[in-house]
Structure 1
Amino acid sequence: MTGTTRSLAPLAGAWKQAFHLATDGSGSYGKGLNLARNGAVAQIHTQPGRINAPVAAKKATHQAAIHLPELTAAQWDTLAARLAGDPQAVADLVANRIPATIADSGHAGGISIVPPADSITFSCSCPTGRSHRVCDHSAALGHAVAERLTTTPSTLLGARGMTARALAAHVRDLVDGADPGPLPADTNGTVRAAQLYSLAAHRPPQAPPDLDLDTVSPLTYSDPPLPGPRAQDMTRMIADAAARAQTLLADTATAPHDELADILRILASPDGADRVPAAQHATGIPEATLRAMMIGYRHGGPAGAHATLAATAATTDDLERARQTIHTSRAVGLGTVDIDGDTLTDTTAGVQIRPGPDGRWYPFTLWRADEWRPAPGACDDPAEAFRAARRARAARPLRR
């Protein structure tokens, strides 16, 4: 989820509580937390009823798993019906985002995506795990899942028996031919265009308004004909566009607004990958770099794309202060954070953070050779950005 969408932190919090209770006071809970923080959990895989991942500890790698009960078809129907009645949830789903509504069973038809503690079980290839007791490795996996749920709730959806795409299709079937209502504005009063037009596609046909063109009084009507957005949504979008234009005219915009950012915006759209060769020809930027910038744009918008292309110039003092902040916060593991040009890099861990044109720090992970891939979690605090890079590195093993 991006932008001002409601936080999914309650989903991660509910999982932490249930997972903690499921460990039943075992000392492995704390040991697993240390393993997870040190990047011991590799790629997490999800299938119905199961979440598993390789976990490295004491020079050995074990296959840890957490077992969850799948939701029944009736429970998925109840959840989908509740989501179909929420315009924000519908708009999120049709725009390929997971709605924050699922984090609260009170707003999800009473269905809890997080299972009760007594239905969570563990297994592992280690001796303790083979007896289906929680071990350090399966506990580390539980902590890693909690971190992932703040940005990727589909991890838990899949384990409960339905992919995010299947849930979106189920909800779309329920709203086809029905009017889901207006899309509510975000907390700052704006409405996202992608969600607005996705929602409009599911509204029933509407006859054009009967206008008296001979009158001299101002024309008023409820909504324009489809596929146009609703009047109140359009008003909010116009107000937002006017505010952005005023910022640009006053020369106070902080984010980069240029032709390259517009190209990356198009490439980062669902059908944008097909335009990469044309963009490469137009910009002269290698295709591999453009594809990495697409990822950077999805994580951090125009500033994320620019940070992927090159770090914003920073003074030695700023870089040194950021490095000290990372060390003081103990975000770094056993490696050393080096100042490398305008970046802070831990080559041992394969992570890096870069200053972006908007003043934030952007996390990266080593992909292969000297190729760095952007990761989610850009932040004003370099220590938090560094932690985000370590989490992304733990979720994606180093490519050789």
Structure 2
Amino acid sequence: MSPHTTDVWANTLTTSLTTSADTATLNAARRLLTGTHPQLNVNQGFATAKFALPGGRTARARLLVEELTAAQWERLEAALAARIPTTTISGELADPRHTGGIPLLPSAQDLSHHCTCTEAASGPCAHTLAVGLLLAERLRTAPAPLFTLRGRPYQHIKKRLRGTEPTAVAASPAGVPSRAAAPSLVRPATDHALAIPAQQAAPLPNPADLDLTTARPLLTSPLSAPPAPLPDLDAQQALVADAAHRARELLAGIEQSTGSDTGSDLARFTALEHGAPYRQAAMDHLGLDVVAMGHLTLAHTHGGPAGAAAYLHRYTVDHDVLARAQADIQPLRPAPNTAVECEDNHLTDPAAGIQLRYGPDGRWHPYLAPYGPWQPVPGPDADPVQAYRAARTAARAHRRTR
């Protein structure tokens, strides 16, 4: 995909952002981005970033985007499959006429703003506008964040388009069903009968005489490129290498470290030698910069798939869970009279520079922020006290190495 095919996405989003913003606030948002590179996190339904405030405080800005419904996605994906069977994503998709009448780009009415600064009582503030401007710039070169924001991971869209043959029915002769229209021969997993009906099963061929003793010449010429939309040869070789790696781990009795979501598995895959060349593609898909991708890899190294999920996503956690954890770590805090911040599954001790994130595995994953963004450190534990101690140990080790 050309790096400039989605420029119109960035321009459209910028227009939607600035529709309800006054000039002073918009200029303040642009000043926030001058000479700095805040970390932008993109999730389903919202994008977020943090900005420094006077007095050492931090503004946590979140730009919320209305997600499309399942029915809207079905209609949009059908339109994409009919129009671009080669999965090419371009700026023309900003026009609803090309997406089944479903606007892929959010309008000003689809956006809402939330920020912890005092200026965000009504309407957009400079911080949430800055998040939107960061997002617009990301969309100039990477289509993935837009699909994620609207409720469908980009990888899902690509798989849907690859598996669709929009012209198969039209191209079939009259009375001859196409492959897309052929009835499935696979029964549900609960049916232990033969999957192919007897009346449709072809007779088995006669056994072939195989010569297993004569030497055969090795393939000396390169293989031809596979037809679209199959992955290229390098990607297929990486997938084979990954399958072999996972098989070796399984045979050796090593617990499989595959995640239940795409982000967790990309963290595992790109940390391996055969997956390293696809690190940039993973960054584009997840909407992460170089630093954030490095932190995701660390999160997976320290905490496995759940550690990567805790880095990428926020979860709603029962207030009692956060309250108990806050009470448990209170005796360990170096500044016990300062406030502890609780937001979603994050428990932050700003005075100590420590954050604990409650992961989907029921463990607290420790974080430090030695250079600004929070980065994962070793020692996730179901006991918040042990996770907090691990973070303090990592902080001491960091001070000794500076």
> TM-score w.r.t. structure 2 length?
0.44
